């Protein structure tokens, strides 16, 4: 996928319902947009979950792309892959710390010295006309200066501030956008897909599937980013939702 970042139009808000929703509206008339906000009142995660973030303490960013030609399943998967790679690289570069891991398909976790906690979530949404994908929006949330999560998130979420890093949000955003577009400019879809698979580090891992008693291992990656898992009895299962699996991130 080749995208010229110079064609992007930028929109920044103090507060907005959802950067993803606004990016979708903009794509009715624009080809490439970047929407950011200091706060979201209706930020979304996957599976109808809400994305928590207090005013001014986190990065809320959406990149909207209108597709000018037919998009195949590999290219759609690339948007999942490149967004997570860009976030991981950005955090590593700005903090000089190798503590960040991608959990399938695109959540970013950080090691706090005791365990991995979620520091970033990514929501990729596609719009279709019939069977053809006409646009995609990549929504990225990063916990930057958050210091007080709701009770239900305190054991699972973490911010850069809580890890001891004081990163200015605008600097983080600028670096992330640069790395995101650089991946697309300098790598083929297949190269990005292979880098993502390597960073996921799923080969030979024991994988637990919620609701299943068996332990699985990775059998193969499908071109569209789904996983085929197999247990000791050669029973196979297809996974497209990272929330349904658990495995060691190291």
Instruction: Report whether pLDDT(2) > 80.
Output: no
Higher pLDDT, 1 or 116: 116
Report the pLDDT value the prediction gives residue 43, as an integer from 0 to 100: 65
176 contacts: CB under 8 Å, gap ≥ 6 = 59, 61, 86, 87, 90, 140, 142
What whole-number percentage of the chain has pLDDT above 70? 96
Predicted local confidence at residue 54, as pLDDT: 78
Residue-level pLDDT at 51: 59
Q: What is the pTM of this model?
A: 0.93
Beta-carbon contacts of residue 194 (< 8 Å; ≥ 6 apart): none
Mean pLDDT, the chain, rounded, equals 92
Please tell me the distance from the alpha carbon of residue 32 to that of residue 29, in angstroms, as a whole number: 10
pLDDT tens digits for range 180-208: 999 999 999 999 999 999 999 999 999 99
- Mode of pairing for the β-strands spanning 32-37 and 9-13: parallel
Under the banding of pLDDT at 50, 70 and 90, the label for residue 154 is confident
pLDDT at 150: 83
pLDDT confidence tier of residue 48, bands split at 50, 70 and 90: very low
CA distance 89 to 172: 11
Confidence of residue 69 (pLDDT cuts 50, 70, 90): confident
pLDDT value, residue 5: 86
Contact 183, 85 (CB under 8 A): yes
- Averaged pLDDT, 12-25: 94
pLDDT tens across 93-126, in order? 999 999 999 999 999 999 999 999 999 999 999 9
């Amino acid at each position: 996928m080749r995208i010229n970042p110079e064609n992007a139009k930028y929109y920044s808000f103090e507060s907005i319902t959802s950067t993803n929703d606004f990016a979708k509206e903009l794509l009715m008339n624009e080809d490439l947009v970047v929407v950011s906000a200091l706060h979201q009142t209706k930020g979304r995660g996957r599976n109808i979950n809400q994305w928590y973030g207090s005013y001014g303490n986190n990065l809320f960013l959406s990149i909207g792309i209108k597709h000018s030609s037919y998009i195949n399943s590999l290219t759609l998967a690339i948007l999942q892959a490149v967004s997570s790679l860009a976030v991981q690289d950005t955090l590593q570069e700005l903090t000089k710390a190798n503590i960040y891991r991608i959990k399938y398909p695109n959540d970013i976790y950080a090691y706090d010295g005791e365990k991995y906690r979620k520091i970033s979530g990514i929501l990729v949404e596609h719009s279709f006309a019939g069977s053809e994908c006409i646009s995609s929006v990549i929504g990225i949330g990063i916990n930057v200066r958050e210091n007080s999560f709701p009770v239900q998130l305190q054991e699972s979420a973490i911010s850069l501030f809580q890890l001891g890093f004081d990163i200015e949000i605008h600097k983080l955003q600028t670096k992330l956008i640069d790395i995101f577009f650089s991946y697309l400019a300098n790598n083929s879809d297949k190269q990005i897909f292979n880098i993502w698979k390597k960073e996921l580090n799923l080969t030979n891992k024991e994988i637990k599937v919620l609701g299943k008693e068996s332990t699985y291992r990775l059998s193969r990656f499908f071109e569209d980013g789904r996983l085929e898992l197999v247990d000791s009895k050669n029973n196979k299962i297809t996974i497209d939702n990272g929330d349904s699996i658990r495995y060691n991130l190291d």
